[in-house]
Chains A and B, each alone.
Chain A
């Protein structure tokens, strides 16, 4: 098992370096002189040239990337904001708990709705419940979460006055954003659980379990569910990552001061290091979550465990 974990971690490193390279390249090709942007409109040409040299902006691309990557991977140095001169990493880190909580509550909503609905749908295939659940799941996937957020605000904040429409101070603030961000994932998990469950309950060992007179609830809960949920775990992990990305939109809708809103504001103000840092930070978190899911997968899937014994 250690060999498996070690292999996964080793595979992650080149991906992380690749991600940092792509993010750096994207910001490198962005038009505009970073030195001029940092100094503002009143700066003289001499000052700009001085700062360019100080920042190493005249060095070849690859040297600049090397410096950036060394900073990121050895000292967690993501650079400084053009606007406030604050350390990008500290700014991101201070907002990370908010974004992480938002994504995590979204995942909880998704799992709590998705798995039971998926199981019932599969066990009662083509029933009214199944058909309506699948229709709702498709609607859930089809509704952009920023629109859903607006509708939620319209109904539950403006109309009924049950929940606040912006901010993230109390648990009451968290409910609408969590429902908003979690719905499309709930739809994905429902569909995945259903199809995985359907595949499992058609297998011979389930027929055997039924043939020996096992109660249907036990057949489903003890025999089928264990195997059916293995692929669902991967989907949950992936969804967690996507929710971190999707948080950019949800945070904008609900004015939640997380990494997403910080990035959107930074894009508007052309604060490139902050945008670069934000993308990189979320991509790194996404990769680490995927790594964790892969490792978890190794533990719950005996076939993978057996390979590395």
Chain B
């Protein structure tokens, strides 16, 4: 096919109004496809539509953004979809806990303690006769709060430290990164235990403890991304037009390194929920009667021999939540960076 033919048809496509009959349908097909791939024009009213050929079907309305492409890849991944459904159910459970749970989480019934699962108490009752199903349902609120707030705090603080470190390099970078090395030298759960031991038990303190323990990870990721983008031409261009450092970092660099941060964030929420449950399990986290899954397991440990339901249901709740977040996190990683896919 000659290039003259192509350009003349392309010209027609752009300028002419009304319909023209295509002589050779197959040739036109090829021409339009070729045209689309070369210029990715936007279809608009008045564009010539050769007979029997729907240009709109081939030429996209608008060029897809990077995020639309990521979304397309993500929803193709069955595991990621499963993860999303789990998280969605968890969120809905947390929001509508008041309607879902048949009892209040602290309602005791001392005549009905450690009753096995039955029609009235689906997951049985605990040592104070509280309905375990209701407590597991309310527990989703606590886990979501701890997971998202702790990771939010860690992301913000780690993000600031990482960007400053990566952008300015030199001495600032050295000081911040050595501090991060020191924090990383203490195993995460142990650091969280040490912080929680110092601050005392409680929901807010657990969030702080878990949050601080995961700061170094975000600082490192953001730093690495900022370092790789700092000297790119678009950043130089921003600098040339007079953008200040804050604007360059927040407006130009950070939006371009969101991929690894989002992936780490999703997996981080899972780890934060696990750590918080671990802290509650050893009595350092959320205190009764608040229905935290880890704290429920801690009580259940004593009754493991005669009330298995006390440990199984909160444990399975933690497991499904973490599993969903991990599935989604893995799916996001593959969707954001297909090169990493194994």
Contact = CB atoms under 8 A, between A and B. Distances in A.
Interface of A: 14-16, 18-19, 21-23, 26-27, 29-31, 122, 125, 138-139, 141-144, 146-147, 150-151, 153-154, 158, 165, 194-195, 198, 241-242, 244-246, 248-249, 252-253, 263-264, 267-268, 275, 279, 282-283, 286-287, 290
A249 B278 contact: yes
Given A22-B183, A138-B330, A158-B305, A275 B194 contact: yes
In this complex, the member of B178, B194, B270, B301 whose beta carbon has the largest number of chain A beta carbons within 10 angstroms is B194
7 contacts: A139-B323, A146-B277, A150-B300, A263-B193, A282-B186, A282-B190, A286-B185
A150 to B, nearest CB: 5
Contact of A147 (B179, B187, B305, B311): B311
B62 to A, nearest CB: 35
Contacts of B194: 23, 26, 275, 279
A30 B229 CA distance: 41
Given A146-B278, A147-B297, A154-B308, A279 B185 contact: no
B300 A19 contact: no
Given A27-B198, A144-B319, A244 B278 contact: no
Contacts of B214: none
Interface stretch (B114-122, B218-226, B243-251, B279-287): B279-287
B14 interface: no
A245 B45 CA distance: 65
Nearest to A148: B315
Interface string B297-317: 100110011001001100100
Interface in B246-285: 270, 274, 277-278, 281-284
Nearest to A143: B319
The 6 closest A-B pairs by CB, nearest first: A245-B187, A18-B182, A147-B315, A142-B322, A142-B323, A245-B190
Interface in B15-31: none
A6 B179 CA distance: 22
Given A26-B194, A142-B326, A245-B187, A264 B282 contact: yes
Nearest to A191: B342
Given A165-B304, A267-B284, A282-B186, 20 more contacts: A19-B182, A22-B182, A23-B194, A27-B198, A125-B342, A138-B323, A138-B327, A143-B322, A144-B281, A144-B319, A146-B278, A146-B297, A151-B312, A158-B308, A195-B342, A242-B188, A248-B189, A279-B191, A283-B186, A290-B185
Contacts of B149: none
B195 interface: yes
A19 B188 contact: no
Nearest to B316: A147
Nearest to A279: B194
A158 B274 CA distance: 26
Describe B's contact surface by its main secondary structure.
helix
Contact of B304 (A158, A194, A275): A158
B98 interface: no
Given A138-B330, A158-B304, A158-B305, A18 B179 contact: yes
A150 B301 contact: yes
B284 A142 contact: no
Contacts of B227: none
B342 A245 contact: no
B197 interface: yes
Interface of B: 178-179, 181-183, 185-191, 193-195, 197-198, 200, 270, 274, 277-278, 281-284, 294, 297, 300-301, 304-305, 308, 311-312, 315, 318-319, 322-323, 326-327, 330, 342
A125 B341 CA distance: 12
Contacts of A198: 342
In this complex, the member of B179, B181, B198, B308 whose beta carbon has the largest number of chain A beta carbons within 10 angstroms is B198
B311 A150 contact: yes
Contact of A249 (B185, B281, B300): B281
Contact of B185 (A15, A146, A244): A15
Contacts of B197: 26, 30, 267, 275
B316 to A, nearest CB: 8
Contact of A248 (B190, B277, B315): B190
A252 B281 contact: yes
B189 A26 contact: no
B277 A30 contact: no
Nearest to A26: B198
A19 B198 contact: no
A21 B182 CA distance: 10
Contacts of A144: 274, 277-278, 281, 294, 315, 318-319, 322
Given A15-B185, A138-B327, A139-B323, A252 B297 contact: no
A138 B185 contact: no
Contacts of A30: 197-198
Contact of B270 (A142, A153, A244, A282): A142
A248 B259 CA distance: 34
Nearest to A137: B326
Contacts of B282: 248-249, 252, 264, 267
Given A26-B198, A275-B194, A15 B305 contact: no
